[in-house]
Structure 1
Amino acid sequence: MTRTDRLTGQALVTVFCLGVLIPFAALVLASLNPPGTPISGLSWPESPSLESFSQAWSTAGFGSLLLNSAAIGLGVVPVALVCATLAGYAFATMRFRGRGALYIVLLLGLTLPYEAAVVPLYYDLRSLGLTDTPWSLILALVGLYMPFGAFWMRQQFSALPKELLEAASLDGAGSWTVLWRVLLPCVRPALTTLGLLYFLWAWNQFLLALILIQDPAGRTAPAGLAFFVGAHTTDVPSLAAATLIVIGPVVVVYLFFQRNFVAGMVAGAVKG
Structure 2
Amino acid sequence: MIVTRRETLIGRALLVLLMVLTVLPFISLFVTALHPSGTYPDGLSWPSNPQWGNFADAFSAANMDRLLVSSALIVLGVVPLSVLFGTMAGFAFGHLRMPGHRIGFLVFVLGLTLPFEGLITPLYYQVRDLGLLNTRWAIILPLIGLFMPFSVLWMRAHFVNMPDELSEAARIDGASTWQLFWRVHLPLAKPALSSLAILLFLWTWNQFLLAIVLVDDPAKRTMAGALGAFQGQWGTDIPLLCAGSLLILAPTLIIFLIFQRRFVAALLQGSLKG
Are the equivalent residues in 1 in contact too, given 2:92–2:98 (CA < 8 A)? Answer: no
Q: Map Cα deviations across residues 207-265 of structure 1 (whole Å, 9 max, x no partner).
A: 11111111233122112211222232332211110100110111111111111111111
User: Which of the numbers 217, 220, 223 marks the counterpart of 1:218?
Assistant: 220
| Structure 2, unaligned runs of 5 or more | none
- 1:117-156 matches, within 5 Å, as 117-156=119-158
Match of 2:27 in 1: 25
1:249 to 248, 251, 258: 251
Give how far 1:95 is off.
Answer: 3.8
Instruction: Identify the residue that residue 159 of structure 2 maps to in structure 1.
Output: 157
- Aligned to 1:257, what secondary structure does the other structure show? helix
Residue type at the aligned position of 1:79? L
Once the two structures are superposed, the pairs formed by residues 37-186 of structure 1 within 5 Å of their partners are 37-186=39-188
- Are 1:110 and 1:148, in contact at CA under 8 Å, matched by a contact in 2? yes
8 Å CA contact retained: 1:35, 1:51: no
Work out whether residues 135 and 215 of structure 2, in 8 Å CA contact, stay in contact via their aligned partners in 1. Answer: yes
**Dislocated runs of 4+, deviation >3 Å:** none
Residue 209 of structure 2 is matched in structure 1 by: 207
- Which residue does the alignment assign to 1:229? 231
C-alpha contact 2:218 2:225 (8 A) present in aligned 1: no
Aligned to 1:16: 18
Q: Distance in 2 between matches of 1:257 and 1:200?
A: 12
Once residues 61 and 35 of structure 2 are traced to their aligned partners in structure 1, the CA distance between those partners, rounded to angstroms, is: 17
Gaps of 5+ in 1: none
Three-state SS of the structure 2 residue aligned to 1:234 is coil
In the TM superposition, what is the alpha-carbon distance from 1:94 to its structure 2 partner? Answer: 2.2
Distance (whole Å) between structure 1 residues aligned to residue 262 and residue 149 of structure 2: 22
More deviation, 241-250/31-40: 31-40
The Cα offsets for residues 48-84 of structure 1, whole Å up to 9 and x where unpaired, read as 1222112222222122112211211121110000000
One-letter code of the match for 1:264? A
Query: Paired residues, what number?
Result: 272
Asked if 2 retains the 8 angstrom alpha-carbon contact of 1:34 and 1:51, the reply is: no
Alignment RMSD:
1.3
* TM-score under structure 1 length normalisation: 0.96
Q: What letter matches 1:96 in structure 2?
A: M
Measured after TM superposition, the shift of residue 5 of structure 1 is 2.0
**Distance in 1 of aligned mates of 2:87 and 2:225:** 30
Normalising by structure 2, we get a TM-score of 0.95
Percent identity reads 46
**Matched-pair contact (CA < 8 Å) for 2:95–2:162:** no
Where 1:195 maps in the other structure, the secondary structure is helix
Q: Which moved more, 1:128-137 or 1:152-161?
A: 128-137
Q: State the distance in 2 between where 1:103 and 1:223 align.
A: 32
**What SS does the aligned partner of 1:39 have?**
coil
What whole-Å deviation, never above 9, does each CA across 1:157-197 have from its counterpart, x for those lacking one? Answer: 01111211111111111111111111111121111000000
Paired residue secondary structure (1:197): helix
Look up the equivalent residue of 1:12 and give its one-letter code: L
2 CA distance for matches of 1:41 and 1:216? 31
Output the CA distance in 2 between the equivalents of 1:98 and 1:259. Answer: 36
Residues 126-157 of structure 1 deviation map (CA, whole Å, 9 limit, x = unaligned): 22222222122111011001001101101100
